[in-house]
Amino acid sequence: MKITLVKGDGIGPEIIGAVCQILEAGGAGIEWDEVIWNEEMPDVEPIINSLKRNKVGLKGPITTPVGKGFRSINVTLRQRLDLYAGVRPAKSLMPGRYENIDLVIIRENTEGLYSGIEHFVGKDAAESIRIITRFASERIVKFGFEYARKEGRKKVTAIHKANILKCTCGLFLETARKIALSYPEILFEDRIIDNMCMQLVKKPEDYDLIVATNLFGDILSDLCAGLVGGLGLAAGANFGEEIALFEPVHGSAPKYKGQDRANPLAALLSAVMMLKHIGKQDVARKIEEAISATLKNKDVITPDLGGVGSLSRMRDAVIEAL
Ligand code: NAD
């Protein structure tokens, strides 16, 4: 089976390179259709064409210039390919500040404050348009409930700020409440975003599956990554009706580029999600077990997890465990 591969930039090529070696060692039997990403001449079309052909992809992080330059390639891919559901699990894999966390964030990926409609009004003011539609709200909340049903999750929490954003968040909340009625076996509740941040830090065990609009989902998934040990462990996937693109939650962490110290596990756990998606459950399980074994050894794990190891030592340890 051919799968689109985009290594990205910054730490992307190192971590995705390690993931490819681990998948090969695990016997995943994947033929990559690699699209070379070029920071100097950013062109999203070859990535889009490859994903349309193969329907499944693995991607490393891609840098977006801050405050200027080209539009985010990551957002463009999600919008152009209608990869509307961002799935970001946060699960405790090693002892940390919190124990036994097992949450999943479902993020609407195509609209909200990421609609890309933003402009200056004169010289000294600027505005962004936050689009929320009934269609996209229904679609993401249904995806959340279906995911909860499939994965045996007991509760869905919808996130909003409908006390202030009465039209946009009001529409999302009203839609979520309606959809919830079709899933009587799953508990439903809603939380205002600011309260939710505090609740998650105080008692994350009270939450199970969280469904949110684009920006709130983006922020909450980083917060939840922090609860389980940081972005180095945060896997992610973007699903559309036909295409699925797997990528770590984190960005290109330029300060770690070429230093052999970036944690490859967020990308590897994203690849594990991909293996499950394409029906290679056995290889996925084997790799998960190898990750668990590796995480016990402080000599090999990367500094972000409190270890004294490196990217390459972690990669080798996972391969050895396999
Ligand atoms: P970032 O996720 O790259 O890094 C934030 C911090 O998290 C880093 O400084 C580092 O301390 C830590 N970190 C992240 N990944 C790590 C890893 N694998 N191992 C160890 N530590 C890790 O976020 P940022 O600095 O805000 O963004 C850098 C660039 O990445 C920006 O251009 C941004 O637009 C882009 N970005 C891309 C994606 C994507 O491709 N999907 C996602 C987020 C950010």
For residue 253, the CA-to-ligand 1 centroid distance in Å is 4
Give pLDDT, residue 116: 83
C-alpha 132: how far from chain center:
21
For 210-244, write each residue's pLDDT tens digit.
999 999 999 999 999 999 999 999 999 999 999 99
- Look at the domain 1-83+230-322 and name its fold: Isopropylmalate Dehydrogenase (3.40.718)
Q: Compute the mean pLDDT over every residue in the chain, rounded to the nearest whole number.
A: 96
Q: How far apart are CA 83 and CA 159, in angstroms?
A: 20
Contact 62 CB / ligand 1 (< 6 Å): yes
Q: Mutate which of 87, 231, 249 to test ligand 1's pocket (most atoms within 8 Å of Cβ)?
A: 231
- Please identify, by atom number, the ligand 1 atom nearest to the C-alpha of residue 250: 2
Q: How confident is the model at residue 30 (pLDDT cuts 50, 70, 90)?
A: very high
Give pLDDT, residue 271: 98
Give pLDDT, residue 175: 98
Strands of the sheet containing 31-34, edge to edge, are 31-34, 2-6, 56-59, 244-246, 237-239, 85-91, 102-108, 209-212, 155-160, 187-192
The answer to whether 172 touches 131, Cβ cutoff 8 Å, is no
Q: Atom 6 in ligand 1: which residue has the minimum CA distance?
A: 253
For residue 57, the CA-to-ligand 1 centroid distance in Å is 20
Average pLDDT on 76-102 reads 95
For 254-267, write each residue's pLDDT tens digit.
999 999 999 999 99
Q: Which residues, 6 or more positions from 270, have their beta carbon under 8 angstroms from its beta carbon?
A: 58, 235, 236, 237, 246, 247, 248
Contact 247 CB / ligand 1 (< 6 Å): yes
- Please identify, by atom number, the ligand 1 atom nearest to the C-alpha of residue 62: 40
CATH of domain 97-227: 3.40.718.10
Q: Atom 22 in ligand 1: which residue has the minimum CA distance?
A: 232
3-state SS class at 180: helix
Query: Could you tell me what percent of the chain has a pLDDT over 90?
Result: 92
- Please identify, by atom number, the ligand 1 atom nearest to the C-alpha of residue 236: 41
Contact 109 CB / ligand 1 (< 6 Å): no
Q: Atom 16 in ligand 1: which residue has the minimum CA distance?
A: 232
Judged against a pLDDT cut of 80, whether residue 1 lies above it is answered with no
Residue type, 221: S
Q: Where in the chain is the domain with CATH 3.40.718.10?
A: 1-83+230-322, 97-227
Judged against a pLDDT cut of 90, whether residue 46 lies above it is answered with yes
HSE-CB of 142 using CA atoms within 13 angstroms: 9
For residue 277, what are its two tokens? 């998606």
Contact 112 CB / ligand 1 (< 6 Å): no
For 246-301, write each residue's pLDDT tens digit.
999 999 999 999 999 999 999 999 999 999 999 999 999 999 999 999 999 999 99
| HEC readout, 244-306 | EEECCCCCCCHHHCCCCCCCCHHHHHHHHHHHHHCCCHHHHHHHHHHHHHHHCCCCCCCHHHC
Q: Mutate which of 64, 79, 250 to test ligand 1's pocket (most atoms within 8 Å of Cβ)?
A: 250
Contact 250 CB / ligand 1 (< 6 Å): yes
For residue 257, the CA-to-ligand 1 centroid distance in Å is 11
- Please identify, by atom number, the ligand 1 atom nearest to the C-alpha of residue 63: 32
Q: How confident is the model at residue 71 (pLDDT cuts 50, 70, 90)?
A: confident
Contact 310 CB / ligand 1 (< 6 Å): no
Buried b (16+ CB within 10 A) or exposed e, 155-183: ebbbbbbbeebeebbbbbbebbeebbeeb
Q: Atom 5 in ligand 1: which residue has the minimum CA distance?
A: 253
Closest CA to 59 of 48, 71, 70: 48
Q: How far apart are CA 276 and CA 30, in angstroms?
A: 13
For 152-207, write each residue's pLDDT tens digit.
999 999 999 999 999 999 999 999 999 999 999 999 999 999 999 999 999 999 99
